[in-house]
Structure 1
Amino acid sequence: MRRSAALILVLMAMASVRTGFAATTYEVGESSRVFKPGHARNWRGAKTEALVTTIWYPANADGTLYEEPQVIGPLDGPLFLAGGAVLNAPIANSQVKFPVVMLSHGTGGSAMQLAWLGTVLARHGFIAVGVNHPGNNALEPYTAEGFVLWWERATDISDALDALVIDPTFGPHVDEARIGAAGFSIGGYTVLELAGARTDQERFLKACETDPTLHKCVVPEMKGMGDPEQMLKKVRASSAESMARGGASYRDPRVRAVFAIAPAVGQAFDPDGFREVTIPVVMVVGAADRIAPVATNAGRFLALMPNAHLTVLPDGVAHYTFLDTCTDVGKAKLGVYCGDAAGVDREKVHGTVSEMAVKFFDKNLR
């Protein structure tokens, strides 16, 4: 699925957050890269052995650039709004270097599903970099390894960051002392791993064996992938090396703060799993989230991280409220992914959360 221009009215730009380097607002540029790390790595059976990456960034606001609406889906029937941007615009020259926020999408999604956040970060002076996680993104066939080897997602982010800093266009504008990460759902888990959290997948699997109907064990994106035991059998045969290091640390010391939206797989962490997390962490989740319920996920994490803060959004905000805003076509075709409860304004929720993220990163990436 991809976006097109001139189909849907672009959302109005958010007001400036007047703190630190986010005080100035910019036009939003958008570009893409296909990063191919120079070292051997686990591609989780993905067809595309590369990190397909979307980059939102501050663009020159000289009166000659005009943002156009971006969408996800076919040209004649887009499914999601993906903010406004100028494709391949020149990066702003008003500041030599910008802070960076790496973005990690949810299970089976794509970087573009975080366009609502990436575009706002770029407008406020950040370079936002979203990676399509191999084997677990909507632009190519899913793989069992993509769903099972969660910790490899952290290596995707670190490899993409390596590539970004040497990119001839963006590298010279990256402030390597000011790097953060944000993610949604299993992407929220991913950024916690980047902060130093360690996974114990066996805890998660035992919880699923006890009650296979738990939402965290069977999510809509896994439809057609087989039951967990079938998936595990395949992955243990194909990726024994990765399975053996599932509990390792994937801390990236360049990442100085993380913003986790509806972080998932709470049962994958034992009480010591967050012992090495010392950087600032903010979590945001909806009170009506049934995929990653507060009590067994973000609420549990909060008690285990001394520098963490949690905001629970009330009034029917659920898991998929944090996907891009759906078009009428999307609402008709995509069911649960677009089915917000009565009274929930997805765009308003996005505005609240993206403003929180700007303020959080502005404060902690000094």
Structure 2
Amino acid sequence: MLPAAVNPVGMTQVEFIDPVDGGRPLDYLLIYPAAPESTAKPYKIFLATNLQLYKDAPILGDGIKRPLIMFSHGAGGNASIYVWFGEYLASHGYLVAMAYHYRANTFDSSALYVRNRLWQRPRDISLDISHLLEDKIWGARINPDQIGVAGHSQGGFTSLWLGGAEINPDLFVQYQRIWKDNLMVPAYLREQMSIDAEPARNLRDARVKAAFAMAPGDIQGFGMDEAGLRKMSIPAYIIVGAGDTTTPPKDNAEFAAKFIPHAQLDVIPGPVNHEIFDNECDQLGKDNYPEACADAPGVDRAKLHEYIGKAALEFFDANLGVRRQPVN
């Protein structure tokens, strides 16, 4: 049973090697309830503001086995862009592992992975789950029956994929061929691109019991059709801004929610765009990345983060069977 009180939050970077696929280094940012020293100061997340995370702080020593949420970032994004989400859940007792997808993140991005080997994303998350459960320290802190997944954009698509939605192999091959045949992509990359849907099949991870998908996409472009979406058996919460022009709701979130059997759709009204799910930006972020940091007039990112975080917490609590001590 998790306590009702809100906890301070720690964060630590983890790296391990995938021994199967060429020794790929896999990274994730682990965010957790912490007991920082009284003199500790929050770590400054690059380009972000209004965060309170303590780097490498000791985990809260209450011996509780905690629910685990895996997080998949958007195409070419990274874990640190979404630490507000990890902080919100961790402050309420969750462990949150936020992946840096191999060669598909801000710091190391290649069309080979971002646009061809999409199936590597759910596989990364499954490997991260195994790594955490087998870890001598963190494994003992996790309730293996309370694992969920969340993600944004291509990461939202990944969360549905892990939850059991399936791609249509013929449509997925068509998508791969678009990039394989794109002469603007350097030849050495196109030579490495496969036209093969087999690795993209059967990626359901049975350990994952619920999925929270933020502005998922490109649902149909990547090859998920009605039949494939109907195969998702776990609960899904799909949330998107009504003004999203990157993953338009009608063709993505609304389409997915229409066919996933146990899906709840939440369309945030107004001119709420794709980047609302990113951190609040500091001045450096606003100056250098206005497209990701500037919201439409009347859109309050801080208030929406509170709404989104609360929705995620209530969804995961309900669908992972999380019990909390009553508030005194």
Q: Which TM-score applies when normalising by structure 1?
A: 0.80
- Among 191, 202, 215, the alignment partner of 1:237 is 191
Q: Is the 8 A contact 2:169 2:197 kept in 1?
A: no
RMSD, aligned α-carbons:
2.7
Q: Is the 8 A contact 1:198 1:273 kept in 2?
A: yes
Change (3 A) 1:228 1:340: farther
2:57 alignment partner in structure 1: 89
Q: How big is the shift at 1:80?
A: 2.3
- Among 206, 212, 222, the alignment partner of 1:253 is 206
Separation in 2 of the partners of 1:316 and 1:243?
Answer: 39
**Mean Cα displacement is larger for which, 285-294 or 193-202?**
193-202
Q: Does 1:59 align with 2:59?
A: no
Alpha-carbon displacement from aligned partner over 1:26-57 (angstroms, at most 9, x marks no partner): 1101111102133x1278xxxxx311110000
Q: Taking every aligned residue pair, what percent have the same amino acid on both sides?
A: 32
2:244 alignment partner in structure 1: 289
1:336 alignment partner in structure 2: 291
Q: Does 1:182 align with 2:132?
A: no
Q: Does 1:123 align with 2:91?
A: yes
Q: Does 1:161 align with 2:129?
A: yes
1:70 alignment partner in structure 2: 44
Q: Is the 8 A contact 1:340 1:346 kept in 2?
A: yes
Q: Is the 8 A contact 1:134 1:146 kept in 2?
A: no
Separation in 2 of the partners of 1:207 and 1:146?
Answer: 12
Change (3 A) 1:133 1:360: same
**Mean Cα displacement is larger for which, 165-174 or 297-306?**
165-174
Q: Does 1:26 align with 2:1?
A: no
Q: Is the 8 A contact 1:179 1:256 kept in 2?
A: yes
Q: Is the 8 A contact 1:158 1:252 kept in 2?
A: yes
Separation in 1 of the partners of 2:211 and 2:13?
Answer: 23
1:11 alignment partner in structure 2: none
Q: How big is the shift at 1:191?
A: 0.6
Matched residue count: 319
- Among 162, 184, 205, the alignment partner of 1:194 is 162
Q: How big is the shift at 1:82?
A: 7.0
Q: Which TM-score applies when normalising by structure 2?
A: 0.89
Alpha-carbon displacement from aligned partner over 1:317-346 (angstroms, at most 9, x marks no partner): 100111111112211211311121111111
Change (3 A) 1:239 1:82: farther
Change (3 A) 1:351 1:324: same
Structure 1: unaligned runs, 5 residues or longer = 1-19, 44-48, 73-78, 210-216, 218-224
- Among 116, 120, 131, the alignment partner of 1:148 is 116
Q: Does 1:36 align with 2:36?
A: no
